[in-house]
Amino acid sequence: MAGKIVADTLEHSTAGSIATNYVVNGSAKGWCSFDGTAGTPTFNDSFNGSSITDGGTGDQTMNLTNAMTDANYPASFLGNARSQFGTPTGSHPSASGCQIRSTNTSDSNADNSFVQIIFHGDLA
Amino acid sequence: MQTPEFQGTHLFDRLCWAKETLEAVQSDYRVVYEDSIDECAKILVPDPNWMACALQGGILPPVWVYWELAKDEAQPDFKKHMRGHLLHQTEPIGPMTEEEAIEYLIQKDVPQHVWQNINDGNKPRLVICTKQQLPQTREWRNAWQISDDLATAA
């Protein structure tokens, strides 16, 4: 691709330097935000996703275009609704996507109007 | 906008180019499928940025690449992908119509046992429809099923 720069280190004039592998390894590899309260999820924006599988109330899976190298990557997600919180289920770890479960304070599944999912780790 | 010659370029880099260059395409198509008789119907929603890549062409790998990776991941001794190069080094496929993109997405993101046996059983297990044909609210979402008398869209 045009504009390619190959460098092992980035150096700031006063703040010091950082190895570029910190940047590469530390960058998010995929993310999306969507409204989970409409009839079917509605995307706000995304990167490296191919689709969302809506599996029911508070149950969505983000499927990746460029899979992760294994299922041990860290994924995080947030939901905005008051009195709701989320925890990844961990029940279906996959290199190709991540399932989330949004719950209310009674630990019952509940949909969020602004869900954000973020993937870190190594790509396949 | 012409897609650059991407063969051999890391898929992630191609997606970066697409994100910076292409307008996202919100598809009205939805795929409804039943994965298990004990669960409600699942709905597959295409990612707008992915759809833009599919329509543009020259970015996404052929779908069989994902089948190969899925085969590897299904092995009991799977630790990590050793054939990720298939995503990056296989020649990208050309532009698709929106309908072809949905078929590709089904073969990528819907479990294979669903779409490979689409005509088995007494009722359709997978239906392609539009967003407007589905309930507009999530009331009784966990009871959604494919109607018994619904003709398949195949």
Residue B44 near residue B35 (C-beta atoms within 8 A): no
The reported pTM is 0.91
- Residue B153 confidence (pLDDT) above 60: no
Q: How is A53-106 classified by DSSP, letter by letter?
A: EEEETTEEEEEESS-BSSS---EEEEE-STTEEEEE--SS-BTTEEEEEEEETT
pLDDT tens digit sequence for B71-96: 999 999 999 999 999 999 999 999 99
Q: Is A47 in CB contact (< 8 Å) with chain B?
A: yes
The pLDDT value recorded for residue B152 is: 42
The pLDDT value recorded for residue B43 is: 97
- Please give the residue of chain B at the shortest CA–CA distance from A41: B45
Domain ranges of chain B: 11-143
Number of Cβ atoms within 10 Å of the Cβ of A44: 13
| Residues of chain A positioned with their CB less than 8 A from the CB of B4 | 1
ipTM: 0.94
Q: Determine the angle formed by the axes of helices B98-109 and B48-56, rounding to 10 degrees.
A: 120
Cβ A124–B43 below 8 Å, yes or no? no
Start-to-end CA distance of chain A, whole Å, equals: 20
Q: Is A51 in CB contact (< 8 Å) with chain B?
A: yes
Q: Is B154 in CB contact (< 8 Å) with chain A?
A: no
**Of A44-48, B7-11, B108-112, the least confident:** B7-11
Cβ A66–B109 below 8 Å, yes or no? no
Domain ranges of chain A: 28-119
- Residue B150 confidence (pLDDT) above 80: no
Cβ B108–A46 below 8 Å, yes or no? no
- Please give the residue of chain A at the shortest CA–CA distance from B47: A51
Tokens of A50: 């191919």
Kindly tell me the number of DSSP H helices and DSSP E strands found in chain A. 1, 10
Phi, psi of A55 (to 5 degrees): -95, 5
